[in-house]
Amino acid sequence: MVATGSPSGPGSERLPPDEPDPASTVDPGLVAASQRYLRAVRTTDDRGSALEAVRARIADAPATALDALSPDERLAFWLNIYNAATGAALLADPGRFEDRRRFFSEPRVTVAGDALSLDAIEHGILRGSQWKYGLGYIPNPFPSTFVRRHRVTEPDSRIHFALNCGAASCPAVAAYDAETVDSALDTAAESYLRSETVVEDGTAYVPRLLLWYRGDFGGGSGIRRLLREHGVVDPDAVSKVRYREYDWSLALDAFRSDGND
């Protein structure tokens, strides 16, 4: 889903012919800009001018443009922004991942004039102002003005299969658009759950993300329903669900294009 390209020289990149160079795009629309931001992160090894141009486009966007996004546009936009900001920060300085609490809580990207942390995007905007450590059951009663204004109105638990924080156990990275975001999230959920679930002797060992955001998925019954819906487990053969350990090893390959996205 992510268009790819290769650098043509220091400080520049070449995108495919059907994709305009971000530096030459006046106003591609915020969702398209967020896609180009992610593409630039993944294809510009020297963090060149194309990346800076599209990042400036997003930083300088008027807040009213964010207000005008439809629910699907808003979802696709913020998924792309999170993954692009994460990749840009870690590719520039992998050492930032050594202090993960600081990495997620400090500002990493500016959108419509507001400097935002990854936590603000994930737990504030995409999860509808949930407390990070509340297992999906405890809302954050003090969201920022920006988060209150721009958060999604109906949080979608499938975002957890689309956000990549830089760890080895994270889902794959893709560029999302409003027209296909629903089906793309279904694909992401099924792919991640199938690849990360192991069934042995009637027990399903599932990704720890399902535990951390248990309430987002509808509790234990919701998690079982999710596994059934995506064909990950046979309900007649699985009686227990256990949560696997999360691999926090830094893994940056997801933020580098391999030419087959």
pLDDT, tens digit, 9 for 90 and up, residues 42-83: 987 655 778 899 999 999 999 999 999 999 999 999 999 999
Return d(Cα 168, Cα 194) in angstroms, integer: 16
From residue 16, give the alpha-carbon distance in Å to each of 25, 38, 83, 122: 14, 14, 21, 30
Assign 1 a pLDDT band (cuts: 50, 70, 90): very low
Sign of CA dihedral 240, 133, 174, 182: positive
Share of the chain above pLDDT 70, in %: 86
Helices (H), 1-158: 30-43, 49-59, 63-67, 71-92, 100-105, 118-119, 145-150
Please report the pLDDT score of residue 47 as a whole number.
Answer: 56
Closest CA to 83 of 22, 17, 144, 159: 159
Return d(Cα 226, Cα 243) in angstroms, integer: 15
Paired strand residues for 198: 205
Count CB neighbours of 84 within 10 A: 28
From residue 170, give the alpha-carbon distance in Å to each of 4, 26, 42: 21, 34, 16
Sign of CA dihedral 219, 220, 223, 228: negative
**For 176-204, what is each residue's pLDDT tens digit?**
999 999 999 999 999 999 999 999 999 99
User: Nearest-5° angle of CA 254, CA 233, CA 75?
Assistant: 45
Residue 130 pLDDT greater than 50, yes or no: yes
The answer to whether 197 and 234 have CB atoms below 8 angstroms apart is no
DSSP H or E segment with residue 196: helix 181-196
At residue 191, what are phi and psi to the nearest 5 degrees? -60, -45
Worst-scoring range by mean pLDDT, 10-14, 103-107, 112-116, 231-235?
10-14
Beta strands in 118-191, from DSSP E residues, in sequence order:
none
Assign 11 a pLDDT band (cuts: 50, 70, 90): very low
What residue type is assigned to position 60 of the chain?
Answer: D
Return d(Cα 2, Cα 97) in angstroms, integer: 24
DSSP 3-state of 241: strand
Please report the pLDDT score of residue 28 as a whole number.
Answer: 55
At residue 107, what are phi and psi to the nearest 5 degrees? -60, 135
Return d(Cα 177, Cα 19) in angstroms, integer: 14
Residue 17 pLDDT greater than 80, yes or no: no
pTM over 0.75: yes
Assign 16 a pLDDT band (cuts: 50, 70, 90): very low
Closest CA to 123 of 155, 98, 154, 149: 155
Assign 258 a pLDDT band (cuts: 50, 70, 90): low
Residue 221 pLDDT greater than 70, yes or no: yes
